[in-house]
Structure 1
Amino acid sequence: MVDPALVVAPAAVRAGVNATAGPTRKAILAATIGNALEFYDFITYGFFSIQVGRAFFPAHSEYASLMLSLGLFGAGFVARPIGGIVIGAYADRVGRRPAMMLSFALMGLAIIGLACIPSYAAIGIVAPILAVIARLVQGFSLGGEVGPTTAYLMEAADSRRRGLTVSWQGASQGLAGTVAALVGFTLSSLLPPAALDAYGWRVAFLLGAVTLPYGLWLRRNLPETLHTPEPAGTVAAADSESRGALMAASRRVLLLGLLVISAGSIASSVSSYMTTFAQHALHMRPSLAFAGGVISSLSGVIGYLGGGWLSDRVGRRPVMIAPALAHLLVMIPVFYWIVEARSGTALLVGAAINGVLAGSGASAFYAAMTESLPKRIRSGSFAAIYAIANAIFGGTTQLIVTWLTHATGSTMAPVGYMFVAAMVGIVARWLIVESAPAKARLGPSA
């Protein structure tokens, strides 16, 4: 007898999404291309925050200009919760595909807009105002991106390979970060500092926006998963239950998810900031700093995919917890080595360790969260907690660690902030219930 939970609507089968084979490569690419563009922008801004500051916020000191630039970076996170709630809920009501189309279109237009705004020297105060508007639009779209796409990957996947399929959400970040770091490395190697300030950083942003037409075309042809039967191993919910009741029943999962994502957001922001930190605080060559970003991102891809694959076999909780504990143990020694040695070897090895350990635990967490939420609130609730965590911590981390480094005079300030967040994240991961179909069956109250 065929398990009804493994039956998929004929339209989805014709489009290449089915319960045995999972989504096609094209469908995975379509679902993750927006997240990749998001992370490309995130990494690129972190790499070029000094140059962006000089373009829009000329100041008497390098520190003041950098702080204003990081403030603009944080402005993009202000609108994320709104985008997460609005676009995420839209995906739960209307469908994953239209929500993904909307978020990706807004995202691409905002990136192009930021890259094309004239400098402060050309149009005065209008320049930073337009830059803030572009970042707010971008933040709104990015807030609504992760919920629908992660829900789509989970719903389209074969239940036996759900962890690996969902891990492409994080792996796309690593791949995009690799491309961003390579672009930054190339531009910083080929262009003199004056050219980087004038137009080099703009070229980096526009290169990411090249994916906009292709991404829209891919997403337009995605099969919808909102109305397909739920696969085995996911939380069931009665049709009569309201969204409010479902949210209340899932409050424990949502709170724990918020804590894990907050800790991960701080770690990701500190890792992204390392390129700026290596140049600004450790006085390393820009090309070496960008090389560290390349290694960190590539190792993150390995960590995400490896962690997702392993979580399908041994369960979500072991893969969420073990790498996080290992990361906590090596975090301070590795960072101290980088700061004291100030060498390429220390920076590259440290970046590799950080990428593998952070990525492997995160992919298992993404799968666990989406499996633990009912379909009718999966996209909106996940998008909301993701956006809120990133708005509070992702948008402020680089600003905080820059201030901490400046105020204390200690180059160890960033890792201290990350260490405290990591401890909170580990406790939250420990409390999350196992959700992998191979290891557990979730009941309605899980």
Structure 2
Amino acid sequence: MTQVAPAVPPLGAAPLSRNDIRTLFLAALGGALEFYDFVVFVFFALPLSELFFPKDTPAWLATMQVYGIFAAGYLARPLGGIVMAHFGDRLGRKRMFALSVFLMALPTLAIGLLPIYAQVGLLAPMLLLFLRIVQGVAIGGEVPGAWVFVAEHAPRGKVGFACASLTSGLTVGILIGSLSAAWINHHLTHDEILAWGWRLPFLLGGVFGFVAVWLRRWLSETPVFTALRERKELSRGLPLRTVFAEHRSGVVVSMLVTWMLTAAILVLILVLPNMVQKQFGISADAAFLGNSLAALCLCVGCLAYGLLVDRIGDRLALLVGAVALTIGTYLLFFDLAAGGARFLWLYPLVGFLVGAVGVVPTVMVKAFPAPVRFSGLSFGYNVAYALFGATTALVIETLAQWLGRMAPAHYVAFTALVAVVVAIWLMRKPEPES
């Protein structure tokens, strides 16, 4: 891995002022509101599958179709990530930060106002697909930009906690989505949800989005980018071209650790509530209560792993986190296979262990020098998320033909093993200064 040029301040060299602390808080809060907008879709996949496709569509096919629309958001992420990262490396992190949240708020609000299949026919799923793609473009620029933003505001020795704090903030968005799904499923009947209840979380998400737009007004540009601009050391031409020419190993590392992040978040947090209802007979109330507890523990787990990164280093923390995640995942699925008697305390434990994903952004931030950091991280992260996020459901369904209901656990464990290999490989290389 390459080092930052001497003229550029090392990552996090500037002390953290009161204004910087406020900036980090606002970045995390805005990220939470925006990430809620992106993930709430999956919590209402089942009612959406009934409303946006013909009544005579088999339930399994309608569910797969709506998950396909959900996956389209992942496929669109690289487009938004590449474009926003390019301008983020050329014009500044702050400008793209504000644009991404605005692009997320509009389609989320629009989804809550969409006509359903019974009203407009095939136009309904087509509009849903289009709005989901716009959401994907927005989140593709938001998440990598947020990690770069907070990392470049953090003091030396606190980059791990800063990145994990932002990741924890993003997972608060998952928690808000889970809580809204739990509340709606508990207080509304199935018919009420289909009639109007499903619209509530999207309308609320639109409001959240515009609140996040307002919050972003108070952000300040990162010290690292400001120094690059003052020294006229910004990337010239296409930053991504420099990434491909000089930092391919950083791209590979970013993609591989993102694979574990994708599997942990998508399988164990976003999809599991619906999965345990359909495959293991867990009630909707219990599934979403467990998910809310797991999402809360995930927020705490990210912070804990961030502290661990600053104490023992991102490489060893990645190894420890991947091994612990594997053990916890198997404990949960063995319990589910046996009837799920311990589901409501094992699931929160797994949520905490999923907090190992809080290590991933530090690994990726360190993989690229400041002039091309946004572009390099964004490309590796978004391409991997698009590839693995869009195919996870299909891969698990295929594996289930041979491995049964334990297929999701085996998949997560394999991605964790890949992360272990990456961690060991990184340990054999010198620590970058950036």
Number of the residue aligned with 2:295: 297
SS of structure 2 residue aligned to 1:276: helix
Number of the residue aligned with 1:101: 98
Give the Cα–Cα distance (whole angstroms) in 2 for the partners of residues 434 and 186 of structure 1.
49
CA separation of 1:52 and 1:158: change in aligned 2, threshold 3 A: same
Number of the residue aligned with 2:254: 257
CA separation of 1:4 and 1:200: change in aligned 2, threshold 3 A: same
Give the Cα–Cα distance (whole angstroms) in 2 for the partners of residues 6 and 144 of structure 1.
24
SS of structure 2 residue aligned to 1:211: helix
Number of the residue aligned with 2:110: 113
| 1:388-403 paired onto structure 2 within 5 Å | 388-402=383-397
Tell which deviates more after alignment, 212-221 or 267-276: 212-221
Q: Give the conservation status (yes or no) of the 8 Å contact 1:260–1:426.
A: no
Number of the residue aligned with 2:369: 374
CA displacement at 1:241 relative to structure 2: 10
2:276 pairs with 269, 273, 278, which one? 278
1:319 pairs with 310, 317, 320, which one? 317
| 1:30-45 paired onto structure 2 within 5 Å | 30-45=26-41
Give the Cα–Cα distance (whole angstroms) in 1 for the partners of residues 432 and 260 of structure 2.
26
Give the Cα–Cα distance (whole angstroms) in 1 for the partners of residues 115 and 252 of structure 2.
42
| 1:173-188 paired onto structure 2 within 5 Å | 173-188=170-185
- 1:362 equivalent in alignment to 2:357: yes
Q: Give the conservation status (yes or no) of the 8 Å contact 2:235–2:372.
A: no
CA displacement at 1:124 relative to structure 2: 0.5
SS of structure 1 residue aligned to 2:193: helix
Q: Give the conservation status (yes or no) of the 8 Å contact 1:51–1:196.
A: yes
SS of structure 2 residue aligned to 1:309: helix
Per-residue deviation, residues 127-155 of structure 1 (Å, max 9, x unmatched) = 01101110111111111111221111011
Give the percent of matched residue pairs that are identical in Structure 1 and Structure 2.
28
Per-residue deviation, residues 22-59 of structure 1 (Å, max 9, x unmatched) = 76443123323453234324442222111111111234
Give the Cα–Cα distance (whole angstroms) in 1 for the partners of residues 52 and 402 of structure 2.
27
Number of the residue aligned with 2:60: 63
CA separation of 1:153 and 1:43: change in aligned 2, threshold 3 A: same
Q: Give the conservation status (yes or no) of the 8 Å contact 1:18–1:157.
A: yes
CA displacement at 1:258 relative to structure 2: 0.4
Tell which deviates more after alignment, 115-124 or 160-169: 160-169
Number of the residue aligned with 1:442: 432
2:329 pairs with 313, 328, 331, which one? 331
Q: What are structure 2's unaligned runs of at least 5 residues? A: 1-5
Give the Cα–Cα distance (whole angstroms) in 2 for the partners of residues 227 and 339 of structure 1.
51
Between the two proteins, the alignment pairs up a number of residues equal to 420
CA separation of 1:224 and 1:337: change in aligned 2, threshold 3 A: same
Q: What are structure 1's unaligned runs of at least 5 residues? A: 9-16, 231-236
1:349 pairs with 345, 348, 351, which one? 345
CA displacement at 1:414 relative to structure 2: 1.6
CA displacement at 1:89 relative to structure 2: 1.0
Per-residue deviation, residues 181-225 of structure 1 (Å, max 9, x unmatched) = 111111101000111222222211222222222211221221112
CA separation of 1:6 and 1:283: change in aligned 2, threshold 3 A: same
CA separation of 1:20 and 1:139: change in aligned 2, threshold 3 A: closer
Number of the residue aligned with 2:405: 411
CA RMSD of aligned residues (A): 2.7
Give the Cα–Cα distance (whole angstroms) in 2 for the partners of residues 433 and 196 of structure 1.
51
CA separation of 1:33 and 1:247: change in aligned 2, threshold 3 A: farther
Give the Cα–Cα distance (whole angstroms) in 2 for the partners of residues 22 and 111 of structure 1.
33
Give the Cα–Cα distance (whole angstroms) in 1 for the partners of residues 237 and 95 of structure 2.
24
1:79 pairs with 76, 79, 95, which one? 76
**Structure 2 letter corresponding to 1:97:** K
- 1:143 equivalent in alignment to 2:133: no
2:379 pairs with 375, 379, 384, which one? 384
Q: Give the conservation status (yes or no) of the 8 Å contact 1:270–1:414.
A: yes
Q: Give the conservation status (yes or no) of the 8 Å contact 1:22–1:158.
A: no
Number of the residue aligned with 1:14: none
Tell which deviates more after alignment, 325-334 or 396-405: 396-405
CA displacement at 1:441 relative to structure 2: 5.7
CA separation of 1:116 and 1:408: change in aligned 2, threshold 3 A: farther
CA separation of 1:398 and 1:199: change in aligned 2, threshold 3 A: farther
SS of structure 2 residue aligned to 1:194: helix
Give the Cα–Cα distance (whole angstroms) in 2 for the partners of residues 34 and 398 of structure 1.
29
1:307 pairs with 305, 308, 322, which one? 305
SS of structure 2 residue aligned to 1:411: helix
**Structure 2 letter corresponding to 1:98:** R
Give the Cα–Cα distance (whole angstroms) in 1 for the partners of residues 328 and 16 of structure 2.
40
CA separation of 1:338 and 1:168: change in aligned 2, threshold 3 A: same
| 1:199-218 paired onto structure 2 within 5 Å | 199-218=196-215
Number of the residue aligned with 2:45: 49
Number of the residue aligned with 1:189: 186
Q: Give the conservation status (yes or no) of the 8 Å contact 2:34–2:212.
A: no
Q: TM-score, normalised by structure 2?
A: 0.89
CA separation of 1:7 and 1:283: change in aligned 2, threshold 3 A: closer
